[in-house]
Structure 1
Amino acid sequence: MEAVFLGIAVLCTGFALWERHRSRVMYREIDRMMDEILSAEPVTISDLKEGPLSALSYKARRLQERQNLEVSGASREKEQVKMLVSNMSHQLKTPLANVRMYGEILENQELSEEQRRHFFGKLRRQTEKIQWVLTSLLKMVRLEQDVITFEGKDADIKPTLLQAVNSIYEKADKKQIQIQVEKFPSLYLWHNPSWTAEALENLLENAVKYSPSGSTITIRVKPYEMYSELQITDQGAGIDKAEETEIFKRFYRSPKASEEEGSGIGLYLVKLILEKEKGYVTVDSQPGHGSTFSVFLQNCK
C-alpha cells in the first residue's frame, strides 16, 4: 500500500514539475510575442501545431496585423490633414493678403469717392473668394468623409440645368459669351437637383472663365439606353491629353491656367458629387479648339 501511495506521490510531483515547466515555457513564449508586437517585429508562430500556445500566437499575429493597419490608416489620415492644411494656407494666402492691402488703402482719407468705390469692389471680390474657398473645402472634406449623405431621385433635368445656367449667366454676359442650350425633350434622370446643379455650375463657370470674350458655350443633352449625357462645349484654349485625367484630382491646376484665378477644387467637387449619384464625368479636348465636358446620369426606370 505504501508503494502505491509513494507511486502516486511521485506521479503528482512529476506532473506538478511538468506543469511548472510548461507554464514557464508558455510565459516565455507569450512574453516574446508581446515584445515582438511592441517592437513592430513579425510575430513568430509557435512550433507547436496544436494547443493553446499555437492558437495564442496566431491571435497575436492577427492582433499585430490589425494594429499595423490602424497605424497605417492613421498615418495616411495625418498626411491628408497635413496636405489639406497646406493647401488651405496656399489657397487663402493671396486673397487674405489682398484684403489686408485694400483695407490699408481704404484707410487713406485722401481717396476720392470713385477710388473708394473701386477698392471696395476689389475688397468685396476677395472676401467672396475666401468664402467660396472655405465653403468648397468644407464640402469637399464632408463628401470625402461621407459626412454628407444625399439621395438622388427621379427628377426632370431641365430645371436643374436651368438653375446652373442662371447662376453663371451674369459672368458670361460680362464677357459677352453666349450660352446656347439645344432643344431636348423632358428627361427624367436619377439625381439630386441641388447637388447636380452645383456640379453643372462648376463646369459652366470653368467654361466661362477659360473661354475668350465673344465666344459660345453650347449645352447638349443626349439620352442613351442606361445613361443620359449632358455635354458642355466651350471654345476655349483646350486641355492637353496628358492632363485630361489630372484636372479632376484635388487641388490640381494646369500650368497654363496659372494666370487665371482658381483653387483646383471645382472639378474635383464635380467628380465627388457625380460619384455620389452613381454618375461620372469625362472630358474631350483639343488644345486650341475648346473642350467638351460630359456629365453622365442614370436614366429613370
Structure 2
Amino acid sequence: MLRNKEICFFLTSTVLILGIGMLLGYMHSPVTAVYIVIVGGSLASCYMVWMAWRYQRIIQLSGYLRKIMAGDTALDVRDNREGDLSILKNEIYKMTRMLSEQQEGLQKDKEKLTDAISDISHQIKTPLTSMTVMADLLSNPNIETEKRHEFTYHIRRQLERMEWLVSSLLKLSKIDAGTTLFSKEKVEVDQLIQEVVAPMEIPVELKEIELEIEEKPGVTFIGDKNWTKEACINILKNAIEHTPHGGKVSISYEENAIFTEIRINDNGKGIEKAELPHIFKRFYKGSQAADGSVGIGLAMAYSIVANQQGDIEVISESGKGTTFLIKFYQGEAAR
C-alpha cells in the first residue's frame, strides 16, 4: 500500500500539517499541542485503517478481474451494500454476465456453423460421387449411345441440383448475416400469387393437379415482393411435391385490420405431428420427404417471412393434407 504515491503524499501532508499544528498549539500552550497531536494522529490512523481496508477490497476486485479474463465467468461478485465499491462490484458482475452470454452465443454459432458445413458437405458429396462414377463410365468409348444420353442427362440434373443448393445457401447466409435489405413496399397479393404460380405450371400439369386460386382483388401488405415470392414458391413447390397425382392444391388470401394472410393448402400425405416442430430446420427431411429433397426450401421460406416480422404457421395431419398460413402484420407498416 505504501508504494502508492497518493498514500505517500497523504502521509507526508498529514505529518507536515500535524507538525505545523503542534508548533502553533505549543505556542499557545503545551497541553494544546498534545491535544492537536492526539486528535490529528487519531484521525490519520482511522483514515489509514479505512484506506488499508479499501485497498484490500480493490486487490480482491483485481483478483476477480484476472479470473474473469482467464475465462471464469461463473464468479458472483455482487454486493448489495451501499458505497462506490459495491456499485463497482455490481457493474463488474453485470459485465461478467454479458460476456458469459456473448461467449455462449459465439459457441452456439460455432456449433451451428460446424453442423452447417457438415450438412453442406454431405449434400454436395452425394451428387459429386454420382457424377464422378457416371463420368468414368462415359469415358468408355464402347458405351452405348442410349446409356451415354442417360448418364449425360443425370449429370446435368445433378449439376442443376447443386447450383440450386449453392444459390439457396448463399441467400440464407446473406439473410443470417443481416446483409439482405428487405424493402417495405405495398404488395398486391393477387399479382404476387400469379408470379408464384407461373414457374409451377409445368409440375402441376405433369402431375395433373387441380390448382385452385381464390382471387380477392385489393388485398395488400407491406413487405418485399421479390423475397416473399421466393418464400411462397418454395412452399407451393413443397405442396406440389407432397400432393398425389390428380390431387388438389388451393391458394387463398385475405386481409383484416391486424394482418394479411396467404393460405396454401394441399390434400397430400400430410406431416406427422412429431415432425411439425422441425420442418423449418435446415436440411431436415421428414418421413414423407420427396426423393432428392435437400430440406432447405421451407427453412428459406421461414427466414424470409420472419425477417419481415411475419409468421408462418402449419396445420397438418398425416394422410389429410397440409395448410401453410403466411401472415404479414399491418402494424409493421408504421415501423
Q: TM-score range by the shorter chain?
A: 0.7 to 0.9
1:81 aligns with 2:113: yes
- 8 Å Cα contact 1:175/1:213 also seen in 2: yes
1:233 maps to amino acid: N
1:292 aligns with 2:318: no
Q: Once the 2 structures are TM-superposed, how far is the Cα of residue 14 of structure 1 from its aligned partner? A: 4.5
Partner of 1:28: 59
Higher mean Cα deviation, 148-157 or 242-251?
A: 242-251
Deviations 1:30-64 (A, max 9, x none): 343234423434243569x4444334333332332
2:64 maps to amino acid: M
User: Alignment partner of 1:245: what SS?
Assistant: helix
Higher mean Cα deviation, 288-297 or 164-173?
A: 288-297
Deviations 1:91-117 (A, max 9, x none): 222122222222222222222333222
- 8 Å Cα contact 1:189/1:297 also seen in 2: yes
1:16 and 1:288 map into 2 onto residues whose CA distance is 83
Higher mean Cα deviation, 143-152 or 52-61?
A: 52-61
Q: Once the 2 structures are TM-superposed, how far is the Cα of residue 272 of structure 1 from its aligned partner? A: 1.7
1:144 maps to amino acid: D
In angstroms, what is the RMSD of aligned CA positions? 3.0
| Change over 3 Å in CA distance of 1:105–1:42 after alignment to 2 | same
Unpaired runs of 5+ residues, structure 1, are none
User: Alignment partner of 1:58: what SS?
Assistant: helix
1:116 maps to amino acid: R
Tell me the TM-score normalized by structure 1. Answer: 0.84
Deviations 1:232-251 (A, max 9, x none): 22232112233333322333
2:168 equivalent among 116, 136, 139:
136
2:159 and 2:182 map into 1 onto residues whose CA distance is 29
User: Alignment partner of 1:40: what SS?
Assistant: coil
1:185 and 1:270 map into 2 onto residues whose CA distance is 24
Alignment of 1:1-301 (within 5 A): 1=23, 4=33, 7=37, 11=41, 14=45, 18=49, 21-22=52-53, 24-37=55-68, 38=70, 39-45=72-78, 49-257=81-289, 260-298=291-329
Deviations 1:138-178 (A, max 9, x none): 22232233221212311212222112111122222233334
Matched pairs, number: 299
Q: Once the 2 structures are TM-superposed, how far is the Cα of residue 198 of structure 1 from its aligned partner? A: 0.8
1:157 maps to amino acid: V
User: Alignment partner of 2:187: what SS?
Assistant: strand
Q: Once the 2 structures are TM-superposed, how far is the Cα of residue 26 of structure 1 from its aligned partner? A: 4.1
2:146 and 2:230 map into 1 onto residues whose CA distance is 35
Q: Once the 2 structures are TM-superposed, how far is the Cα of residue 202 of structure 1 from its aligned partner? A: 0.6
1:60 and 1:244 map into 2 onto residues whose CA distance is 43
| Change over 3 Å in CA distance of 1:53–1:260 after alignment to 2 | same
User: Alignment partner of 1:254: what SS?
Assistant: coil
Higher relative contact order (CA 8 A, sep 6+): 1
1:227 and 1:23 map into 2 onto residues whose CA distance is 60
1:40 maps to amino acid: T
| Change over 3 Å in CA distance of 1:27–1:270 after alignment to 2 | closer
1:288 and 1:18 map into 2 onto residues whose CA distance is 81
Q: Once the 2 structures are TM-superposed, how far is the Cα of residue 292 of structure 1 from its aligned partner? A: 2.4
User: Alignment partner of 2:268: what SS?
Assistant: coil
| Change over 3 Å in CA distance of 1:111–1:42 after alignment to 2 | same
2:327 and 2:73 map into 1 onto residues whose CA distance is 47
Unpaired runs of 5+ residues, structure 2, are 1-22
- 8 Å Cα contact 2:73/2:97 also seen in 1: no
| Change over 3 Å in CA distance of 1:44–1:289 after alignment to 2 | closer
User: Alignment partner of 1:255: what SS?
Assistant: coil
Tell me the TM-score normalized by structure 2. Answer: 0.77
| Change over 3 Å in CA distance of 1:26–1:283 after alignment to 2 | closer
User: Alignment partner of 1:248: what SS?
Assistant: coil
2:102 and 2:220 map into 1 onto residues whose CA distance is 44
User: Alignment partner of 1:220: what SS?
Assistant: strand
- 8 Å Cα contact 1:151/1:277 also seen in 2: no
Deviations 1:194-250 (A, max 9, x none): 111111111111122122223232222334443333222223211223333332233
